């Protein structure tokens, strides 16, 4: 193999094919640095779970004293790099402020993440313990890192939030944008092939299954044909909604009302009122109707028995 010819061709490509080079630019956050940051966040969120040795209660203060400065140093440096890339002045000072703001949110985030673990345990009859949920259910990694990334997103940190959620995406196949707003007690059963867009809003006690997409219908374009940023493009799920496998829900003005059910493989581009159900009936288009109450189901069963 003639390496010299390949080298010359690559150098010519770097010179002529723009857009995928980052030469003479700022130092960007490194993928491995962000990946280590993601792992450290999981260690500090769930002490005693992901280390190779058991963690005794008496050792927890030392554990935090050792891990917290390590996270702070790495996070501040990666935020600084992202701010320099975005052209922000006084990036080091602002990075330190944003790092402190994020770390100050960790106790509150743990309280919310605890509700996610509880929702997974209560929502899956196969689960045998909370320990099993934390160690073996991919939704814990995905949702926990998204909640941290969401705080960084709200702090207007470039690059780092998406890189954090991509760490979980690569390992689970579930892609939740840092911009998505998610309530408490959120559970993604099986947590594979799920896509949740930037402007999606999810209420409390929502459960979705594998293969669900909360996406956009289309993009608003500017005069140059480029997508307009910051527009509400993704749907909203209110409290106590269940979305079954393979369902696709699209549109920024699509609202799924509380206590509603979206059946498997249903394609939804219109709002559903509270207490309703959507499903396919034979070869017909999707049906949206009021959801039956437990009392109505019991009455039908009693009539059938008679």
Distance CA 184, CA 216 (A): 24
Distance CA 142, CA 165 (A): 7
Of 48-57, 175-184, 274-283, the range with the lowest mean pLDDT is: 274-283
Pure H helices in the chain: 3-16, 31-45, 60-85, 91-104, 106-123, 130-136, 138-154, 160-172, 294-305
What is 26-173's CATH topology? 1.10.3130
- Write the pLDDT tens digit of every residue in 32-65: 999 999 999 999 999 999 988 899 999 999 999 9
pLDDT: which is higher, 253 or 230: 253
Tokens (6 digits) for 122 = 């209560």
Model confidence band, residue 222 (pLDDT cutoffs 50, 70, 90): confident
Element (H, E) at 276: strand 276-280
Distance CA 70, CA 81 (A): 17
Distance CA 198, CA 304 (A): 47
pLDDT of residue 305: 44
Rg (C-alpha) for the chain, rounded Å, is 23
Element (H, E) at 188: strand 187-188
pTM (predicted TM-score): 0.92
| Domain boundaries 193-306, corresponding CATH code | 2.160.10.10
pLDDT greater than 60 at residue 125: yes
pLDDT of residue 292: 75
Q: Which residues, in sequence order, are CB contacts of 18 under 8 Å at separation 6+?
A: none
Tokens (6 digits) for 151 = 């705080």
| 8 Å CB contact between 162 and 188 | no
- Write the pLDDT tens digit of every residue in 103-121: 999 999 999 999 999 999 9
- Sign of the C-alpha dihedral, residues 44, 46, 47, 53? negative
Torsion of Cα atoms, 44 then 152 then 212 then 295, to 10°? 80
Strand order across the beta sheet in which 261-262 lies:
187-188, 207-208, 242-243, 261-262, 276-280, 286-290
Residues 202-229: what's their mean pLDDT? 89
Residues 133-137: what's their mean pLDDT? 98
pLDDT of residue 304: 46
Distance CA 188, CA 208 (A): 5
Q: What does the domain layout of the chain look like in residue ranges?
A: 26-173, 193-306
């Amino acid at each position: 193999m003639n390496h010299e010819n390949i080298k010359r061709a690559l150098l010519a490509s770097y010179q002529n094919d723009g857009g995928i080079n980052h030469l003479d630019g700022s130092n960007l956050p490194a993928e491995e640095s962000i990946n280590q940051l993601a792992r450290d966040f999981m260690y500090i969120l769930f002490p005693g779970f992901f280390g190779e040795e058991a963690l005794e209660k008496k050792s927890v203060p030392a554990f935090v004293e050792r891990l917290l400065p390590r996270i702070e140093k790495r996070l501040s440096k990666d935020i600084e790099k992202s701010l320099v890339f975005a052209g922000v002045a006084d990036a080091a000072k602002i990075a330190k402020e944003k790092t402190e703001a994020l770390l100050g949110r960790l106790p509150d985030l743990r309280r919310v993440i605890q509700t996610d673990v509880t929702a997974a345990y209560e929502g899956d009859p196969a689960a045998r313990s909370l320990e099993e949920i934390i160690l073996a259910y991919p939704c814990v990694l995905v949702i926990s890192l998204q909640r941290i990334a969401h705080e960084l997103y709200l702090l207007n940190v470039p690059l780092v939030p998406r890189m954090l959620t991509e760490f979980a995406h690569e390992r689970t196949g579930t892609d939740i944008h840092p911009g998505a707003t998610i309530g408490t007690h959120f559970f993604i059963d099986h947590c594979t092939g799920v896509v949740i867009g930037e402007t999606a809003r999810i209420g409390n006690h929502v459960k979705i299954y594998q293969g669900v997409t909360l996406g956009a219908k289309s993009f608003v374009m500017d005069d140059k044909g480029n997508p307009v940023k910051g527009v509400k493009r993704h749907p909203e799920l209110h409290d106590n909604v269940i979305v079954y496998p393979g369902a696709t829900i699209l549109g920024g003005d699509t609202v799924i009302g509380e206590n509603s059910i979206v059946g498997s493989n249903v394609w939804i581009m219109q709002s559903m009122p509270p207490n309703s159900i959507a499903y396919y009936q034979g070869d017909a288009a999707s049906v949206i109707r009021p959801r039956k109450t437990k009392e109505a189901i019991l009455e039908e069963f009693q009539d059938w028995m008679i």
